[in-house]
Chains A and B, each alone.
Chain A
Amino acid sequence: MADPARMKPPASTAPEPKPEESEENEVGNKGPTGSEASAESTSQQTVKDDEKSEHAKEATTGEDEEEGTSGLNAPANKKLKVDPEKKKEKKQKVDEDEIQKMQVLVSSFSEEQLNRYEMYRRSAFPKAAIKRLIQSITGTSVSQNVVIAMSGISKVFAGEIVEEALDVCEKWGDTPPLQPKHMREAVRRLKSRDQIPNTKYKRTFFH
């Protein structure tokens, strides 16, 4: 398995990119380099989208609501044709702004920040191990998309725990590295917010 700490030169990733690795390899390219396939540049764009896609989506949903309320005057059919195109244009523009901002941000990182950002983008769970784990639970085989989805949300889950644990660590006046007590307190907090799935114990209302 590839060592995430080693940065590959852009050219070597062009011929056979895997979905997860090519996304993470974009860290090495601060801006669009002279890559052969146009797909590379679109994947770069979607990669930058992916970074702050939540904020972009929040922004666009905010705008969508405004459009909806103001569009009651025009005839319904015409409004339906115009709206999706307008929404798409606005969304693309917001994405491009996001990409620009990300590029400016990443170009101003210190070396330590760059290292950490590289680890953040490149680290991933090994697909084979995840597939083996899921198949040992189901007993049947699972498709590749399931493995991709599951490793993706597992990474987000791990991130949520680490972020909460860092909050706890700061609140308690400790310093990183994180200790097990921080992790356990983080889990306790996330559980009270229902962010950790638990089907073992049924919740009783009144005790």
Chain B
Amino acid sequence: MAEEEDDPTFDEEFDDSGNGAEAGHGKRKRLFSKELRCMMYGFGDDQNPYTESVDILEDLVIEFITEMTHKAMSIGRQGRVQVEDIVFLIRKDPRKFARVKDLLTMNEELKRARKAFDEANYGS
């Protein structure tokens, strides 16, 4: 019968998607599970957060990065992602803007300090 022919394909679908009911990116390997767990604890969650919550958060973060990358590619120099584009996109959000500014400033300072340290060593 027609129903019986449909059933095996139906079963196959359910067997393949073993990653639960999350539609979309369920088949990709989890990239940030360990780091996200530590992060959630740091932000106020329990010491052992639920795996499903970590998965949801990972999907959200990957979607966020994807969106930002696409937006950055469409402004400034087309097809490339540059820091200025990211800073421009983030300008309306005070927290993220301040964070990016601090990170980049700190990176510059550390680079300068490392360079000075190496030159001092080179002399002695």
- CB atoms of A54 and B44 under 8 A apart: no
CB distance from A129 to the nearest CB of B (A): 5
Q: For this complex, into which size category does the number of interface residues on chain A fall? A: 35 or more
Minimum CB distance partner of A184 in chain B: B56
Q: Evaluate contact between A39 and B110: CB separation under 8 angstroms.
A: yes
| Set of chain B residues within 8 Å of A92, measured between Cβ atoms | none
Contact B110 A57 (CB under 8 A): no
Q: Does B68 contact A (CB under 8 A)?
A: yes
| Residue on B nearest A169 in the bound complex, by CB | B45
Q: A146-B82, A155-B39 given as contacts; is B69 within 8 A of A178 (CB)? A: no
Please state if B40 and A178 are interface contacts (CB–CB under 8 Å): yes
Q: Which one, A45-53, A67-75, A78-86, is touching chain B?
A: A45-53
Q: Which residues of B contact A43 (CB under 8 A)?
A: 106, 109-110, 113
Chain A minimum-CB-distance residue to B49: A177
Please, how many residues of chain B have a CB less than 8 angstroms from a CB on the other chain?
Answer: 59
Interface residues of A in 112-156 (CB under 8 A from B): 116-126, 129-130, 133-134, 137-138, 140, 142-143, 145-146, 148-150, 152-156
Q: Does B19 contact A (CB under 8 A)?
A: no
What are 21 residue pairs bridging A and B, where the CB atoms are less than 8 Å apart in the complex? A37-B117, A54-B95, A54-B98, A117-B42, A130-B65, A140-B80, A143-B83, A146-B83, A149-B103, A153-B99, A154-B64, A158-B36, A159-B43, A161-B60, A165-B53, A177-B48, A177-B50, A180-B52, A184-B56, A197-B64, A199-B70
Which residues does chain B contribute within 8 Å of A148, judged by CB atoms? 103-104, 107
A residues 159-189 near B (Cβ < 8 Å) are 159-163, 165-166, 176-180, 182-184, 187
Other contacts beyond A153-B100, A157-B61, A179-B50: 14, CB < 8 A: A39-B109, A47-B106, A53-B102, A116-B44, A123-B39, A148-B104, A150-B65, A152-B96, A153-B86, A154-B64, A159-B39, A162-B44, A177-B48, A183-B60
